[in-house]
Amino acid sequence: MSLMRVWLLVGWAVVANGQFPGVCVQNASISKICCQTPPGFTDICAGPSRGVCADIPVHYDVMLNYSTQFLSLNDERFVWPIKFFTKTCYCLGNFYGPGCQHCKLGFYGSDCNLRNQLIRVEYRKQSPQRRQIYQNALNASQTTLTGYEILKSYQMRSAAEVKNLVFSSTTWYGLWAWHLSYAADRRIVSSDSNLSVNPDTAGNGSGFATWRRYFLLWIERVMQQLANDTNLFIPYWDWTADYSCAICSRSAAGNIKAGFLPSKYDVDLCLSKPFYDPTPASRQNESFRACLEGLDQRVRVVLGWNSAEQAMREPAFLNHLAFLDKIFAEWYNRRRPPPTEFPEQMTAPGQSLYSYMIPFLPMATHASMLTATENLGYVYE
């Protein structure tokens, strides 16, 4: 499946990609209800002990350098996922999922009352058996169709109305690649030079670390299901340890030269930053988030990962993201910052503390990821 897209604004017709639970596609932008009866259950949202069908709270970002009216008219991602759904399953207790059929992060068992604590290790410390289980699940993700569908095209007629939706199926790996590409997409939708480029909703801003944490946790959960192994974890790649990468593709490994990847000194510099992401922009030299995102950009430049599509084709990319998350976890454990360090306003769209991270369904806020990893069911060695 090609993830390259062309965005047009011709009589409100837009060529796009989007993802929805397959059982909900017939309701997208019509009844706008995505409350399903999951397999193995007889009630909507798996019954009243697990969840209820409820209205989605609307959260409007107070944004920096972007017009609320402009984005309402031109970007279906704005106030995610209200353009398509206004009601979804609200899961109770430790239940989770589009139909509340799963357990929330860190829990397992039929009643989701058992704790699970994964230990993520560096890929070179994996046992041969663990390495093979991980690789088999990754391979399976590239051929296994999901229960989600990709929105290939639609028409956006007003700030609240999208019509003529066309869907297609995809594999899990294709869905993950689409998520990264769609959230980071910067598309030209207007000739107005001041409002011509829609923002990256998952990076270049406060949500960089939290969005990628949730992204990895989602991928890890799916891989566990594919492997039928709740102990499967995504190993991290510590690119400060040496200047080789046995899990990289040949082309990426060939780009690595001593001294070009970030060093332990660079990581320690980020860990020394006093605040998560302070405002205004003049204080970015104090920002852990900005420093961490700088490390990511350096690694991607060295390895030639110039786009989301290229990055997702690289075997080591998920392991790279896991190392960034490890650095995030270490900084958080040192600082234990209050939520107020994560901006609630004047951010890029979809990147304030209580924004729903784009384009995940079920929804999750950045605030839910701003916590110790133990609370999410994993730690780092």
Q: What is the full DSSP assignment across 59-85?
A: ----BSS--HHHHHHH-TTTTTTTTT-
> In this structure, what is the dihedral angle of CA atoms 124, 296, 64, 187, given to the nearest 10 degrees?
-100
Which residues in the chain land under pLDDT 70? 1-19, 29, 61-74, 151-164, 186-198, 257-259, 280-282
Q: Encode pLDDT of 228-267 as tens digits.
A: 999 999 999 999 987 778 888 887 877 776 568 999 999 9
Residue 315 CA to residue 189 CA, distance in Å, equals 33
Alpha carbons 378 and 120: distance in angstroms, whole number: 7
Asked whether 176 and 162 are in contact (CB, 8 A), the reply is no
Q: How many Cα atoms are found within 13 Å in the side-chain-facing hemisphere of 190?
A: 14
Tokens at 67, concatenated: 């017009």
Per-residue pLDDT at 59: 76
A 10 A CB-CB count for 30 gives 12
pLDDT value of position 13? 30
* Omega before 339 within 30 of 0, i.e. cis: no
Q: Packing angle between helix 208-227 and helix 128-141, nearest 10 degrees? A: 100
- Which residues are registered as beta bridge partners of 151? 167
Give residue 41's pLDDT: 96
How far apart are the C-alpha atoms of 33 and 52, rounded to whole Å?
A: 12
42: left (phi over 0), alpha (psi -120 to 50) or beta: alpha
